[in-house]
A and B are shown apart, each in its own frame.
Chain A
Amino acid sequence: MLAVAPARAGALRPFGLGSFEEIRRANAGRAHVVAFWSVTCAPCHEEMPVWRELRRRRPDVPLALVSTDGLPEAAGVEARLAEHGLADAPAWIFADERVERLRHSIDRGWRGELPRTYLVDARGGTEALTGRVQWHALADWLARAPAR
């Protein structure tokens, strides 16, 4: 069990085998979003403004940003989040190099493509999206998914 207390809001948390479940449990009963991304993925960067918009317009919908870059890239990951104005967003970083095992624990259907986004409604119903998320798609989901 990895237990690193964040020094401040938005500090990178190590993401391990139980972390996806931990995020879901922490947000149970509320619509929330878990977004996987990488510093090396251009569409992921193009998507970042959507997450900033989500935090601005819907602070009641928790967002967890998970970098798949791995611990050694922590500094770069933090820098990228800060560049996008997301330094204070709950952020995680893959902390287990057995990435297939990590992805399997999140979603057996995920083949590693990025960005990968999980939209979880208040009842735990989950939609998995591959590719850059556009604001209108997110807004559609927010409008129809049970939010509480």
Chain B
Amino acid sequence: MRRRAAAALLGAALLAACAGARAQHAHGGLGASAAFDAQGRLWAAYRHQGRVAVRASEDLGATWSEPRFASPENEPVAADGDARPKIATAPGGRVYVTWTRPLSRPYTGEIRFARSVDGGHSFSEALTVHTDRQEITHRFDALTVLPDGQVVVAWIDKRDLEAARARGEAYRGAAVYAAASADGGASFARDFKVADHSCECCRLALLPRADGSIAMLWRHVFEPDIRDHALASFRPDGQVQPLRRATFDDWRVDACPHHGPSLAEDAQGRLHAVWFTLGPRAPGVHYGRLVEGGVEAGRRVGGEDAAHADIAVTGMRVAVAWKGFDGSRTWLRALLSEDGGEHWQELALDATEGASDQPRVLTHDGRFFVFWHTRERALGVWRLP
């Protein structure tokens, strides 16, 4: 106890020592998410004063409503690196939010959920999504709403690793679990496993499909230690299709890249993805269409500094956004294709000298919007041509 108090005092002293420098006054925690509702209102969730705050914009991000808190006081919220609160909307003024609540033991956590049924004016009490209540890893929440209104949450879960350890067995990585709510977020059904052996520290990409299934793309750990990506399909009732390998970069490493993929679907039902690899052939950020056994129309995204890309598709138009630090500023850039990923134009959108979150690409009414939360400019939105 004394050591913790001393460490806390040290932490405070260190913070005080840095207080003079503007850019270091606040430290990290810029993880944010955004989503449009059916009326074109843009919603954002981010960490504010230590809690999940939700704001809405009626003018595509030019101005935002006052923050409303969606998480309880005194509950830590993960908002760094690949972790961030998530937000989704549903008809009838529903706003859903998830976040990872770090617990006291290292890399342990709980997946938390709260909802508003009154257009964001108030949020319910938070609930814990997963059935398993051990104080172990449940982190990197991903949230989506299906066409029929069911709410689906997925996350990285170490119950299988812990069970294997207890038996004295090895277990690669972690597992991915999911749970569904059929009552608009009032409660979640029993959770179920989607895959074993995921990488334990990268965000998951969830994509609801027209047939009611959900596609998921994630960084996996293929035997023995290949951190390439896998794709699986599951249904909210727990039916899961076997995973298939999605990327083939052959990145063999026992490390935490903290760098997950994104996934989108075009009007022809083809899957488009962006991901990061340090595999030997072509390190960096990549785009491609995922097909059985390979990748089509694959290309590098950005230069050597490219990081944390996101992708969205509307019709046959594809947009990718990413950021990269050029030695003096962090740039926000985008790639735009009108023909399903065959031809592209590159755009430079903005630059910042301070800290920044990962950009997100959103669609509304056939248009693309890039959402980027930075220290210099909170909850920024850029409309693509």
The chain A residues found within 8 Å of chain B, CB to CB, are 2-4, 7, 11-12, 14, 38-46, 70-72, 74-76, 78-80, 82, 93, 95-101, 104, 108-109, 111-116, 130-132
Contacts and interface: CB of A to CB of B under 8 A. Distances in A.
Given A43-B255, A44-B256, A97-B28, A14 B18 contact: yes
Interface string B242-262: 000000000001111111000
Contacts of A3: 17
B3 A39 contact: no
Interface stretch (B19-27, B110-118, B290-298, B343-351): B19-27
Given A7-B10, A72-B28, A104-B325, A131 B375 contact: no
B266 interface: no
Given A114-B256, A132-B254, A78 B10 contact: yes
B40 interface: no
Nearest to A12: B10
Nearest to B199: A42
B146 interface: no
Contacts of B60: none
Nearest to B255: A131
Please give me the 6 A-B residue pairs with the lowest Cβ-Cβ distance, nearest first.
A74-B11, A100-B325, A131-B255, A78-B7, A75-B7, A41-B256
B258 A42 contact: no
Contacts of A132: 254-255
A133 to B, nearest CB: 10
Contact of A42 (B28, B107, B257, B304): B107
Interface of B: 3-4, 7-8, 10-11, 13-15, 17-18, 23-24, 26-30, 80-81, 106-107, 200-201, 253-259, 276, 278, 283, 304-305, 307, 325, 327, 330, 353-355, 375
Contacts of A111: 257, 259, 276, 278, 283, 307
Contacts of A14: 14, 17-18
Nearest to B307: A111
Given A113-B255, A114-B255, A12 B14 contact: yes
Contact of A70 (B3, B27, B253, B283): B27
A115 B255 contact: yes
A136 B109 CA distance: 34
A67 B259 CA distance: 18
Contacts of A41: 107, 201, 255-256, 258
A48 B13 CA distance: 26
A115 B325 CA distance: 21
Counting chain B CB atoms within 10 Å of each CB, which of A45, A97, A100, A130 scores highest?
A: A97
15 contacts: A2-B18, A39-B107, A40-B256, A42-B200, A44-B256, A46-B254, A72-B27, A74-B11, A75-B11, A78-B10, A95-B18, A97-B24, A100-B330, A104-B327, A131-B255
A4 B14 contact: yes
A33 B276 CA distance: 28
Contacts of A99: 28, 355
Contacts of B107: 39-42
Counting chain A CB atoms within 10 Å of each CB, which of B26, B258, B283 scores highest?
A: B258
Counting chain B CB atoms within 10 Å of each CB, which of A38, A113, A114 scores highest?
A: A113
B253 A130 contact: yes
Contacts of B325: 100-101, 104
B256 A113 contact: yes
A70 B28 contact: yes
Contacts of B355: 97-99
Nearest to B161: A42
Contacts of B18: 2, 14, 71, 95-96
A96 B4 CA distance: 23
Contacts of A82: 3
Given A70-B28, A78-B7, A38 B354 contact: no
A74 B14 contact: yes
B15 A97 contact: no
B305 to A, nearest CB: 8
Counting chain A CB atoms within 10 Å of each CB, which of B29, B80, B259 scores highest?
A: B80
B106 A39 contact: yes
A1 to B, nearest CB: 10
A42 B221 CA distance: 14
B80 to A, nearest CB: 7
Nearest to A99: B355
Given A4-B14, A97-B375, A113 B4 contact: no
